[in-house]
Amino acid sequence: MDYHDSPEEAAFRREVRDFVSREAPEEYRVHHRPPVDAGGSGDDTLQEWRRRVASKGWLAAHWPKAYGGASLPVIQQFILKEEFALQRVIHPGNRGVEMVGPTIIMHGSDTQKAAMLPPILRGEHVYCQGFSEPGAGSDLASLQLRATRDGDDYVLNGQKIWTSNATTCNQMFLLARSDPEAPKHRGISYFVTPVDVPGLSIRPIPDMAGGADLCETFFDNVRIPAANRIGDENRGWYVAMTTLDFERSGIAGAVGIFLGVRDLIARLPKERMTLARSHRLADFLIAASVARLMAYHVADLQNRGRVPNHEASMVKLFSSELMRRIDTEAVSMFGLQGALWKGNGGREVRDGRYARALSGSLPAVIAGGTSEVQRGIIATRGLGLPRG
């Protein structure tokens, strides 16, 4: 593919850059960024920024215009995310915009589209993801949360884990086993539900980076209307694959990696810049550029109507492993100070940012599919190697 912008793409890039420079609130630039999935509509500044982006159709750039999107080609969607990232400004979308909305558009009924899509664009419905379970992580199809049909409802019993941001969201999309006798991929249904329903409880899980966004959720005879099932009963696995296809783009992460390396170079004291470290930093810059080109390759495949598979796994594997290497090196470069968190009498580096980043990048090679899973996909689906 040609990685240079066409004249139309270059014009669109300038339009996005000018818009962000002119309209983005200063307090929502990356150094003061709010939680991406902050619940409800209580943050007036976030709501106003969301309204400005939505007025351009860019909040849901990949949605059809009929549903409030911009119907942008895939390449322009990547340019949009890249320019937001380059200017260190958050895109005010969330899981509802990026994952649930497109799934409802593809698999939902007209009634569901009319009821569920507008609140997503208004920022009123903010979603968390109920997929993983204690015994169903990398092997997601082994999930056991039970959904039993009872008249016009389903009754759910079981547990989910790693339900990120569940305490700050007001909606959840989830998978549940609706036919325990069927083969594991064929007995699953896909639901959406408010989280403030009787019997659904949430417990935060403190993480090693000092956050409490991770949660476990418990379902004790939770009733969900059958009208909240997306797609056919027992066909939820295939609906979920649509959601997961929309989960990754890679470009914003690749740009973030590049900017992180550049910042590290600028902030590292000269006396710590040894020849070996300068070589490693140069390698990181080159690798970050490679990650960006890999993400663009995925976009090009989508732009030509192909569905990336092992190519997306390559981006995820390469980027997450690179991020971990960079964060490990950053802490090492600053010595013991680099490992200090905020609150150590000012001895910490950049308010403990490098220590927090390292703590956050370690699980990044697990979340969204472990590095081992990604390597397996690349080996079998990309290289055609036999399954072990």
Quick one: 214 and 264 in the same domain? no
Whether 177 shows a pLDDT value over 70: the answer reads yes
Quick one: 290 and 369 in the same domain? yes
Structure tokens at 383: 């290289």
* Residue 342 maps to a domain: yes
Whichever domain contains 40, its CATH number is 1.10.540.10
Whether 87 shows a pLDDT value over 50: the answer reads yes
Quick one: 270 and 313 in the same domain? yes
Please say which residue of 47, 73, 93 terminates a domain.
93
* Residue 99 maps to a domain: no
* Residue 155 maps to a domain: yes
Global pTM reads 0.80
From the list 329, 322, 310, 288, the residue with the least C-alpha distance to 369 is 310
Whether 210 shows a pLDDT value over 50: the answer reads yes
> In this predicted structure, what is the pLDDT of residue 247?
57
> In this predicted structure, what is the pLDDT of residue 185?
92
Euclidean distance between CA atoms 109 and 230, whole angstroms = 8
Quick one: 224 and 264 in the same domain? no
Q: How many domains does the chain have?
A: 3
Quick one: 230 and 254 in the same domain? no
> For 21-35, 88-102, 302-316, which range has the lowest pLDDT when averaged over its residues?
21-35
Quick one: 254 and 208 in the same domain? no
**Do 322 and 287 contact (CB within 8 A), yes or no?**
yes
> In this predicted structure, what is the pLDDT of residue 214?
87
Q: Which residues contact 263 (CB under 8 A, 6 or more apart)?
A: none
Quick one: 255 and 214 in the same domain? no
State which residues form the domain around 307.
248-382
Q: What is the mean pLDDT of residues 309-334?
A: 90
**Do 152 and 225 contact (CB within 8 A), yes or no?**
yes
Give the best-scoring range by mean pLDDT among 86-95, 98-107, 345-354.
Answer: 98-107
Quick one: 68 and 154 in the same domain? no
* Residue 340 maps to a domain: yes
- Rounded to 5 degrees, what angle do the CA atoms 236, 229, 199 make? 110
